[in-house]
Structure 1
């Protein structure tokens, strides 16, 4: 025992030494700098390269001449201001394709008077040197000139902020991604986002640029200074910097003026952070340290390992047997999709970083993932189950068993699965427009869902529900219909997802208790009243949830939040029923639509929502009727002016009656 303790302490000491080596300043993982303003005495000589026509005046970087630096006028000038230190963007010694990730934030001001025409612009630049090319004024923006533009030898990548239209530009107020040329690979006009680069009077604009070295994706965000960073980038593009810039490059800004286009191209703040690859010297010290420490640590660990080897082997064997059992069941399922490697999903989600989270639920967390294969970039949604015990595995298997054969255009498609190292993951199609809930409650009024989108969404959900209840070979009850589980693809088509609570009803078994789930799963506001008495999941309870979704989408209000009306508080369904009774049902339509909707369609949907919300399950419409009413091949349902009272025990639906008679004969 004493020998064991001695070796343990020695091993710990050696590990501490190794940690010191690894955490030395020379092997820092990231470098950064920050300028909240620019002081000419400190910044010009110590940190920044400036070209002859550039300067640091008025506490800002003047990329092109300003009042303090215009010896030969303002027109037809170009300049660069670059950070003095260059950065290594990838390591030649590493076998993978990793490139240094970086983030930058800066504030730009493009000042002009009423008498000046705007032009030409400025750019955030990655370049092999700080030298500004001769003849790069006017449309060349300090990046290239008439003889070099478009040539791969330039080795530059830039994000331009262009204020003068050339023949290849969309307008005179846009941003663009430039690769070795001023003719942008991708452009984004800014006027539709309420951003003007060079207005009169002047204004400051904040810019964020993020580059992910693993996914090779660059993102550009922009707002007026003082506004919050938006959730969605203005420009997003995949670019492998290794193909276009030098391994060691400089970061900074370039700009130009023309004739007649003139403005002051200024940068008033600049923050920058970059992942740093160790130099060869740093690797040398690391190798020396480990060449001494590792052999000794190995010896110590071998001696210590004898004591615990048996225990570890047994634990690993149990884990392998359990993993083999689960994966064996999965591979036996018919039509099982692709099996993913855990390491690939870990990399795709940046090690399941919180910045990649799309949503959370009782069964796990969903992350955005970026998979790269053969230079093809694919975005996916990765659901990581939060419960890795046996209950979590049962949830995982249940969800996978149901959805692996589901095929419908309005259901989120399963791409694959992974079960390694005790981790349970499902991989789905990525829905770029997020959830309906996000659009209803987390978007600005200007970006709210249009009426056409809302109607199409409800039409799609009804179709998916009908497929689950009647067209799939087993009757599937979703049991958690709500706005956060309805996702939108790039064309705003609804995709019903999250089958964590769904169950296939076999042999008329539709009770939560029979399935050993206990309680009443679901979300308040969407749960049918009979569930609190029967604990049973039926198609009728799904229809009730659909009714809550219909009212939510049309009214823009959550079914679980009380509505204050005069001196009373109402649930959403009671509030709509009250307006229906008083002949004012259209007052329930979301005010953010500004009356831009089809009146007949709105009445049709509101009455359908109330019909689905009927307290008596037997009175709710079937899913086929839902589709027909929305498609206008059936008239809207007739709804009583007063909401019926829920009664228990109630008359059961035909489906429930079969279940009960079957149970009574057992």
Structure 2
């Protein structure tokens, strides 16, 4: 069968993906020139400017403008109006603003006969409106603001003016402001004292909605944080606001929706931020706890110099034509080499010879002995099953020795041999007391077998969830802490102590075995790979997907398809939370949460993190240890790879020789590409650096439809994996 290499290209003009045979790629690319004249001027670049601030303080203070002394960052939040004072009267009659200290181009003048273009944006932020003395009489409100400058609010903008306008300028088109208000005081023009409104150049809202209709109380009896989502579609002129209690998912129904062409009202270069005020007799604290903002970047480049761009495209076509020719030559050569390797590997003698030549190779077992020990691989001897094989219990009749026998069972015999060799080349020389030991191997009659130490107490997940054919006892607290330390020790050995760096890539509770003393042993190296000492990651070139198990896979792996020490640490964090909470990382029993880590992070933010401890323990646990393990689990689960602690630091934290890591109260948002960080949580190292130091100019439109490959989970899946 003739193999055809396909080239897939995304048109920079139309955004459509074009696929065609590589041999014709260069010719087909010339068709792009036909699109250029009609589309170049009307299709500017669609990159975005993106900012993430999970908390506020000295690390990111320089990113904001505080135009008055009444506004500041304090206690990890933006305090738009004063938050502390010795005298309550100091809180009264205040107005404040905090703005991001950079301008954004929000619209472009029409050129070359095209219509005016307006930028799209979306923002998410957490707010807390709080009455510190316990009174429920508020004053006055908080707003998200688009402003023509980053200066102070106008004089006299306290009270009902919310730091936006005053009695002199209210309603003037020269204000050039658009705001979304969250108002807690009813004025004559308001529907009630608990509403959201869209304001254009005035404190009188163009459109309002009572939040009580959505079950939202801006100033409830017990303090509450809210998440606000604001989405603006510049092309459609659609302004949509959603709101929910923090930790809850984005509702299907918006609290406010309006048609609005921003370019008709705001300055071409404007600022984003917040404004707020207090009243003459009553006051409230107006706090912003976290903020993400993404704004379409309206680049000034366009269709003004079409000829230069066309020449550049033509030059690019020539380069691509040469590259395609080289690619075809390489593809043909590699295909022939791969075919030779596969033909050689199908020869049993070649495989057996390869196995015997591996350095440090353990004992070769006879197939008949293993078959007899497992009662002919009888179903009742089955211990577990994963993506690469079935594990059976074996008992040798002559001395009663118990073993675990892994029988590779991929439908494709060639892939079974590949899996077999990969696991052997990783584990045959590993020696550590908290790794499951390899005793030997067998390759006879086309059957591939590995023989391991038998773990009489099964896998960790069987004790956490009481699953499997034999009901296991619930694992008590002290043993859970010990297992966490055992696995951390094994991970440190793989990452730093073995003469090559090994990434496990499938660390999960079903792959942690318990020996006779209930000590943890890390097993199943079916996905493990060796990293060269001078490299930092392993790329899974032969699998069109992401190796691992959902819930344990680090977010960056969906973008890179690469396994690293940091991705192993992320999986360890999921395992640690699983140990403490007695819940699976991907959990359907927590309303409003799909993943355990998000629920634990919410409890941490509310100061009640130990409520996450497994209820099945009946309160029989050490609270200080639980706090330490939960904080460490969150630190290992940090969305930014460089912010996660290293294995050595993890061991010290578990032993109590280092304090628990400092974890931000709000889970940082994942962005890619991730920025390099220098902070490491190791012995003598510093704590976690803040995600809010990241100012990334990158597109957030990463999804399975825009990645150069489609994410697919490649895993030893199964609740009873061994």
Q: Output the TM-score relative to the length of structure 2.
A: 0.45
Bigger RCO of structures 1 and 2 (CA < 8 A, at least 6 apart)? 2
Q: Which has the higher helix share?
A: 1
